[in-house]
Amino acid sequence: MDNSTGNEKHIVEENSKDQQLAQFRVNNYGTKMTTNQSVKVSEDEQSLKAGIRGPTLLEDFHFREKITHFDHERIPERVVHARGYAAHGEFELYESMKEFTKAGFLQQAGSKTPVFTRFSNVVGSRGSVDTARDVRGFAVKFYTEEGNYDLVGNNIPVFFIQDAIKFPDLIHAIQPEPHNEMPQAASAHDTFWDFVANNQESAHMVMWQMSDRAIPKNFRMMEGFGVHTFRFVNAEGKAHFVKFHWKPALGIHSLVWDEAQKIAGKDSDYQRRDLWESIEHGNFAEFELGVQMIEEKDEFMFDFDILDATKIWPEEVVPVKIFGKMTLNRNVDNVFAETEQVAFHPGNVVSGIDFTNDPLLQGRLFSYLDTQLIRLGGPNFTEIPINRAVCPFHNNQRNGFSRQRIDVGQVSYHKNSLANNTPSTSTAAEGGFVHYAEKVEGRIIQARSDSFKDHFSQARLFWNSMTLPEKQHITEAFIFEVGKVQSKSVRQQVVDMFVHVDKAMATTIADAVGVDRPTGEQSTVTASSPALSQANTIRVPQTLKVGVLIGNGFNGAEVKATVKTFRDNGITVDIVGERLGWIQGSDGLRVMVNESFVTTDSVLFDSIYVVGGTAVNQAKFDSDIVSFINQAFMHYKPIGIATTGESFFKASNATAGPGIVFAEGNPSFDQIFVKAIAQQRFWNREIY
């Protein structure tokens, strides 16, 4: 049987950013080794010694350079979002947005802009795990012809705090506790929940964080949000408030918490591997980009403050206008050079996109450049290839560590006559960035607007919008997280806080974590927003992964037909057996086993197809298959049972029901199974 994935590497058209990067790429294959000074090296195994058993000599410059360079390989990791993974791609504009913004890359329908997108986990360090319960960063750098535009967002549309001055407190509370540096990449500990209970503006975000949104299946199947309110400004100077949304082509899908924890051990690179492999196989990640827009005159028309980053604009009230699509189609050549050295900054805007007075955004406008100065070692990081704009830059900034360019001439100041007063500034008509002329009035004050003080209405809106299984997951996440908190007082405070979202939920949590039932009252909001639930998302089989559990003696014709149907539907297949290598069906068909029960696990598949067969250690083989079925069943996954696989199913804890598809006497097995795979989860199972 053809065991290829069916996906050959796709050739992607070179864009202006690729062309620029090309001049920095170096292929060392087949070359002679030299020092960094380009002197040919004759010996790379033995250092220079005084005598065959003598001490090493300082004059061995190759040894010194090699060790010194190695000693300096590390740079500081990001203080947040340290663990990330990125890919190149392009953004294509569906329709001109000229009416709303003068941004050059949003003018011409069909125009394409190179992008570089980095997804990240917020809390864990660079070497932590992918599948932690956490917010995911979603940062996109658009290399436009008018300079770089960065949309530095998250996969959750709101944030924990309203004012940037609280960010260090939030992060100190959520990151590992300072006295013992535990737990890594987890919010399930005392300081985080103590912060939550004592900073109740976090209520709405915490509901999202306890929901399935915080354990996305992979980066390709999550939404992205700019979070803040930005401004679009058109050529006439007319402005709209906007919120950015990325919508994934494959829908929004999540892991199950038990599965997420197990994957953390089985494959800590689960999400980055998914992105890498998908792109290598030509299954490019696609996201549509849209905006919600509010006219300036309507700023005060809503029952929330549009400058408050703990609030959404319900999509049913302010619809998302989709205007383009991002396709991530090329993996990086070198993770350090590109993914680690890329520097995003929400302050990197182009004419036509501007800021608002959102106090969280205002603080970010300071933080990103500041952090990059230390992380990337000085002000010249914009010259690192991945950070370079595709259009030239000219100004009077000079010098600093590792300056690359050689600015010629005697003049490095403005105004001047010696260089004819160049570089010269540009008028708005010439494309010069002119800050939006917002009228600002008021006394200097350190306070929060009253319009920012409702913390529970939208937390309740979110809860109301969830289906029953989603509500159960949120409640279970609270029980897990708050249950890990040692301080009974903090556990009590959390329950007393979330009673304002839902009394029944808070009472269930209270009972489970050993504190008094809360006495407060829940918010009276009854509205819901269907767009917030994942239940109605897109469900397609493409790029999902099925494990075929198989031994010798299988029914060749049956398996071949089913695997072909998988491939025809874009489903990825792993053949899982007792050991790697060839196995044979009863009709002589040979199949290559590419994963064994030792190298892979049920949690790494979206579905399993149970074929069975004979093996060298039959008892072990049988029990491995049964354990795969038990895991898949308890994670609500679709399971297909071949005619030869029924005995394994009978020996498992699984019971027949939705998402369990039998081949026996079922001529439509392949089609029904593929439909079940697309469905992904069957929540109405009794799991113990």
Binding site for ligand HDE (CB under 6 A): 78-81, 84, 118, 120, 137, 139, 152-154, 159, 164, 167, 227, 344, 360, 363-364, 367-368, 371-372
- C-alpha distances (whole Å) from 580 to each of 120, 230, 267, 576, 599 are 34, 54, 19, 8, 10
133 vs 345 by CB, closer to ligand HDE: 345
- C-alpha distances (whole Å) from 33 to each of 36, 47, 339, 599, 679 are 10, 16, 27, 37, 54
Residue closest to ligand HDE, measured at CB: 137
CA distance 406 to 408: 6
Cα 79 → chain centroid? 17
Q: How far is the CB of 581 from ligand HDE (least distance, A)?
A: 41
153 vs 518 by CB, closer to ligand HDE: 153
CA distance 653 to 162: 48
Cα within 13 Å of Cα(66), Cβ side: 15
From 488, 601, 482, select the one nearest 549 (Cα to Cα). 601
Q: How far is the CB of 160 from ligand HDE (least distance, A)?
A: 8
Phi/psi at 33 (5° precision): -75, 135
Q: How far is the CB of 371 from ligand HDE (least distance, A)?
A: 4
Tokens at residue 282, please? 């030509």
250 vs 376 by CB, closer to ligand HDE: 376
Q: Which helix (H) or strand (E) holds 90?
A: strand 83-93
With a CB cutoff of 8 Å and minimum separation 6, the contacts of 636 are: 256, 659, 681, 682, 683, 685, 687
**Is 416 marked active-site?**
no
Q: How far is the CB of 221 from ligand HDE (least distance, A)?
A: 18
Q: How far is the CB of 72 from ligand HDE (least distance, A)?
A: 21
Name residue, tokens 């039932």.
517
Catalytic one of 81, 88, 204, 455:
81
367 vs 472 by CB, closer to ligand HDE: 367
168 vs 657 by CB, closer to ligand HDE: 168
Q: How far is the CB of 69 from ligand HDE (least distance, A)?
A: 25
From 358, 343, 442, 458, select the one nearest 389 (Cα to Cα). 343
**Is 666 marked active-site?**
no
Cα 537 → chain centroid? 18
- C-alpha distances (whole Å) from 40 to each of 24, 37, 60, 485 are 21, 9, 14, 60
85 is in an annotated binding site: no
- DSSP secondary structure string for all residues of 602-668: GGG-SEEEEEE-B-SSHHHHHHHHHHHHHHHHHTT--EEE-TT-HHHHHHSS--SSTTEEE-TT-TT
Name residue, tokens 């469900």.
539
Q: How far is the CB of 157 from ligand HDE (least distance, A)?
A: 9
Q: How far is the CB of 166 from ligand HDE (least distance, A)?
A: 8
Letter for the amino acid at 61?
F
Tokens at residue 222, please? 């999550």
CA distance 231 to 241: 5
579 is in an annotated binding site: no
Task: Report the DSSP beta bridge partners of residue 576.
Answer: 549, 595
Contact 159, 310 (CB under 8 A): yes
159 vs 597 by CB, closer to ligand HDE: 159
From 608, 681, 601, select the one nearest 267 (Cα to Cα). 601
Tokens at residue 540, please? 């397609």
364 is in an annotated binding site: yes
229 vs 508 by CB, closer to ligand HDE: 229
From 278, 296, 343, 308, select the one nearest 84 (Cα to Cα). 343
Tokens at residue 625, please? 């298959």
231 is in an annotated binding site: no
375 is in an annotated binding site: yes
365 vs 592 by CB, closer to ligand HDE: 365
Catalytic one of 154, 155, 387, 464:
154
Q: How far is the CB of 370 from ligand HDE (least distance, A)?
A: 7
Q: Angle at CA 240, nearest 5°, toward 234 and 243?
A: 120
368 vs 683 by CB, closer to ligand HDE: 368
Annotated binding site: 78, 118, 167, 364, 368, 375
Which residues carry a binding-site annotation for heme? 78, 118, 167, 364, 368, 375
Question: Which residues are known to be catalytic?
Answer: 81, 154
